[in-house]
A and B are shown apart, each in its own frame.
Chain A
Amino acid sequence: MSINLVLKGIFSALFLASVLRISTALILPALGGLITDLSGSINISLEGTMLVSAFTGVIVSGFSHNVWLGVLAGIAAGVLFSALLAYFHLYLGTNIILAGTALNILASGGTVFLLFMLTGDKGSSSTLASGVVPTVNIPIIKDIPFLGTVLSGHNIFVYGAFVLAFLINQLLYHTKFGVHLRAVGEDPVAATSVGINVRKTKFVTILVSGFLASLGGLNLSMAYLSSFQRDMTAGRGFIALAAVYLGGRKPWGTVLAAILFGIADALSNQLGTLNIPSQLVQMIPYAITIIALVVYGIRNQQKLIEQTKRFQERELARSKSEQQD
């Protein structure tokens, strides 16, 4: 296959549409990772939360023959699952990383265990006829040649991800809760001293991140695919955490970073036809994240040096003026 053909494939509308679909399962948990990170806790169990929701959604919709009941149950399961994390971390004093690791193990094994008990299969739920959420055709855009293929006809989670990114941005920077959340993450002692309930703020934040991760999970099992597969999240919860840092801990930055991971994923499928090893292509976003960590670290250090300098200058000026008095 020639490079021309591959290039054509990459710049085709279908490719861009597939990037959007693949990225959705990263954007949603990444937003969850972002808010927990900004509130000063790190949600390692995004991966497990996605898995639990993906599983619950398929099982409930499969047995009730109602897609929306499945979606609701999936969300409820995801939020409850993160409530477990929040409770153990905030009330029982478990280190959040260890609690998150435990919950990931629980999710990975627990879903397979229950899947085996309910369907007799350990690999997938394909014997169960579970539902798929509807897709949306955007009225006018769908008729525009290129744009229509890229933007229209996706499932509701794809559009939901972008709406939620907007809402999270509003929440973080334009509401009282958002200010509290960031204050808690910045300096919990200072936040407490001005009367913010740190524990409650963190608890709610973890629940919201669970909600976002659960949508990401449901997107995998009830939209992207139509069944639950063993360990189907395949590390997306961890990639989502990386997207937070790659995106500079900002909502739209995080979304862009998640899309970058999506592009690399879609690209590795395309390049498989050329003789470029897919492993090397798949490595790119991870390497970029490392570079982003470096850039982010250097920037933070410079900020710190500047702050110290300014502080010193201020103090010097003050001591001089005091001497003059």
Chain B
Amino acid sequence: MKKFFSNPTIREGLRIILAIGAALLLGFIITLFVSEDPIGAYKAFLTGPFTKFNRFGDWIEESITLILVGLSVAIAFKANMFSMGTQGQLVMGALVSGVVALYVPLPAVLRIPLALLCAMLAGFLWGLIPGYLKAQLNANEIVSTLMLNTIAIKIYDYFLVFHIKPEDAGYNVSEKFSVEGQLPSFIPNIPIFNKAYTLFTENTNITIMLYIVILAVIVAYYLVFKTPFGYKLRMIGSNMKFARYGGIDTKKTIILVFAISGVFGALAGAHLTMGIQHCIITNISISMAFEGIIVAILARNNPLYIPITALAYGYLRAGANIMERSSDMSREMISVIQALIILFVTAERILPTVQRVIEEKKEQTSNKENGTLSEGGSNEH
């Protein structure tokens, strides 16, 4: 048992489960006070996404976006760069992919990859700006990315209102993309899958982005943990000065970190326009990027855990929507739970006694097995 608890992954996992559990409990207490039918409301909240097929689809679609914004945030945070820039990158990705999907007269086979690539390039370039400011001028990345977010939103709105929107449209929205500009369903439309295809396309918007996301997670994991770039990134994240003295080109790495973070953010934008909305629309998921921070923190900035935390977190969000529709509770209740989860998970000293007990256990085990220390050290090279 001692060994079980001393495993850092398990300890982290337990911590996060405890934090989510505590937050959900507090959410329930709030519901008890406020709702006329607290059990019904909470049941809708916790089981909602499985009650109807289209609700299940909403959950998965939202989780795909969450994974992408989560990856974007995690890569920056892993390097200890507190980039808030995912929002701007998402908006840029949405705009560029949308323009390609709308205007480039190519067949779907070419138009969709081109749109995705252009979006990724836009995110990369948009990420270069705060990266350069941080690396060359040590400009505060929080302020620069927040400013760039607003600039990105204004650029998006400007192009939408003055160039993309049809003149007779009352609302700020582009024409609907033709089928060649929409991401196809994740199930191929061939006879064997006929039944599944109609079931999913009629009720959900789960697209081939599902596969791209899986690929993105693997790429991000390899990038962070298995490449020289990832090693530099992690070194900068754990100790910037040490990394510099160790001969790491910190400037180049920091610029790249922001740019690569932008690639994932932009893909999330492409997913929203080409997969979900099928048009360029004003106010596109403004808050989504900040949700990415929660997803990344819960996953401790490890790309491999992000799908799990995104699915869990997406489940809560979807559940909250359903709870609002089927009870007297408002969906904003979930923001209390969200905030508590972040605070509980990130408060390093929130359970000092528990921590101390675990530390003691760790000490005991490390005394017994001196060999583990040198093993841990060799991983760093």
Which of B278-295 touch A at CB < 8 Å? 290, 293-294
Indicate with 1 or 0, residue by residue over B139-181, a CB within 8 angstroms of chain A CB atoms: 1101110111011001101100110000000000000000000
Partner of A241, one of B136, B137, B143, B290: B143
Partner of B336, one of A88, A113, A294: A113
B130 to chain A, nearest CB (A): 9
In the complex, are the beta carbons of B342 and A91 less than 8 A apart?
no
A selection of 20 A-B contacts at a CB cut-off of 8 Å is A91-B349, A97-B142, A102-B338, A105-B290, A109-B336, A110-B336, A112-B332, A113-B333, A113-B335, A116-B330, A122-B330, A241-B146, A244-B143, A279-B154, A280-B158, A286-B151, A286-B154, A293-B139, A294-B139, A300-B138
Question: Which of B's residues lie within 8 Å of A, judged by CB?
Answer: 34, 82, 129, 133, 136-140, 142-144, 146-148, 150-151, 154-155, 157-158, 161-162, 290, 293-294, 297, 330, 332-336, 338-340, 342-343, 346-350
B177 to chain A, nearest CB (A): 23
Question: Which of A's residues lie within 8 Å of B, judged by CB?
Answer: 42, 44, 88, 91-95, 97-99, 101-106, 108-110, 112-113, 116-117, 122, 235, 238, 241-242, 244-245, 277, 279-280, 282-283, 286-287, 289-290, 293-294, 296-298, 300-301
Asked, given contacts A94-B347, A101-B290, whether A297 binds B332 with beta carbons under 8 Å apart, the answer is no
| Docked pose: A100 CA to B150 CA in angstroms | 19
In the complex, are the beta carbons of A235 and B150 less than 8 A apart?
yes
Sample of 8 more A-B contacts, CB < 8 Å, known A102-B342, A105-B339:
A109-B338, A112-B330, A117-B34, A122-B330, A242-B147, A277-B162, A279-B155, A286-B148
List of B residues within 8 angstroms of A280 by Cβ: 154, 158
List of B residues within 8 angstroms of A279 by Cβ: 154-155, 157-158, 161
In the complex, are the beta carbons of B143 and A242 less than 8 A apart?
yes
In the complex, are the beta carbons of A109 and B151 less than 8 A apart?
no
In the complex, are the beta carbons of B158 and A277 less than 8 A apart?
yes
In the complex, are the beta carbons of A293 and B137 less than 8 A apart?
yes
In the complex, are the beta carbons of B157 and A98 less than 8 A apart?
no
| Docked pose: A297 CA to B144 CA in angstroms | 12
In the complex, are the beta carbons of A238 and B158 less than 8 A apart?
no
Partner of B350, one of A92, A241, A283, A289: A92
A100 to chain B, nearest CB (A): 9
Main secondary structure, interface of B, reads helix
B326 to chain A, nearest CB (A): 16
Asked, given contacts A101-B293, A117-B34, A280-B154, whether A110 binds B332 with beta carbons under 8 Å apart, the answer is yes
In the complex, are the beta carbons of B144 and A92 less than 8 A apart?
no
| Docked pose: A141 CA to B148 CA in angstroms | 41
Asked, given contacts A94-B347, A105-B342, whether A283 binds B151 with beta carbons under 8 Å apart, the answer is yes
List of A residues within 8 angstroms of B335 by Cβ: 105-106, 108-110, 113
List of B residues within 8 angstroms of A112 by Cβ: 330, 332
| Docked pose: A137 CA to B189 CA in angstroms | 73
List of A residues within 8 angstroms of B137 by Cβ: 293-294, 296-298, 300-301
| Docked pose: A280 CA to B330 CA in angstroms | 36
| Docked pose: A258 CA to B62 CA in angstroms | 37
In the complex, are the beta carbons of B150 and A286 less than 8 A apart?
yes
B321 to chain A, nearest CB (A): 13
In the complex, are the beta carbons of A109 and B334 less than 8 A apart?
yes
6 closest Cβ pairs, A-B complex? A109-B335, A297-B137, A93-B348, A106-B339, A102-B342, A92-B347
| Docked pose: A279 CA to B161 CA in angstroms | 10
Residue on B with the closest CB to A93? B348
| Docked pose: A32 CA to B347 CA in angstroms | 24
| Docked pose: A200 CA to B142 CA in angstroms | 25
| Docked pose: A113 CA to B27 CA in angstroms | 12
In the complex, are the beta carbons of A88 and B139 less than 8 A apart?
no
List of B residues within 8 angstroms of A241 by Cβ: 142-143, 146
List of A residues within 8 angstroms of B140 by Cβ: 42, 245, 293
In the complex, are the beta carbons of A99 and B143 less than 8 A apart?
no
Asked, given contacts A88-B347, A109-B336, A277-B161, whether A293 binds B330 with beta carbons under 8 Å apart, the answer is no
B335 to chain A, nearest CB (A): 2
Q: Which of A105, A238, A289, A294 has the most CB atoms of chain B within a 10 A radius of its CB?
A: A105
Partner of B146, one of A102, A108, A242, A287: A242
| Docked pose: A117 CA to B330 CA in angstroms | 8
In the complex, are the beta carbons of A98 and B293 less than 8 A apart?
yes
Q: Which of B82, B140, B339 has the most CB atoms of chain A within a 10 A radius of its CB?
A: B339
List of B residues within 8 angstroms of A99 by Cβ: 342-343, 346
| Docked pose: A241 CA to B139 CA in angstroms | 13
| Docked pose: A93 CA to B297 CA in angstroms | 15
Residue on B with the closest CB to A91? B349
List of B residues within 8 angstroms of A238 by Cβ: 146
In the complex, are the beta carbons of A289 and B147 less than 8 A apart?
yes
| Docked pose: A91 CA to B157 CA in angstroms | 43
In the complex, are the beta carbons of B332 and A109 less than 8 A apart?
yes
List of B residues within 8 angstroms of A42 by Cβ: 140, 142
List of B residues within 8 angstroms of A296 by Cβ: 137, 139
| Docked pose: A92 CA to B257 CA in angstroms | 29
Residue on A with the closest CB to B146? A238
Partner of B147, one of A104, A277, A290: A290
List of A residues within 8 angstroms of B133 by Cβ: 290, 293-294, 297
B95 to chain A, nearest CB (A): 13
B369 to chain A, nearest CB (A): 28
| Docked pose: A30 CA to B200 CA in angstroms | 50
| Docked pose: A112 CA to B330 CA in angstroms | 9
List of B residues within 8 angstroms of A116 by Cβ: 330, 332
List of B residues within 8 angstroms of A88 by Cβ: 343, 347
Residue on B with the closest CB to A97? B82
B301 to chain A, nearest CB (A): 11
List of B residues within 8 angstroms of A91 by Cβ: 349
List of A residues within 8 angstroms of B139 by Cβ: 293-294, 296-297
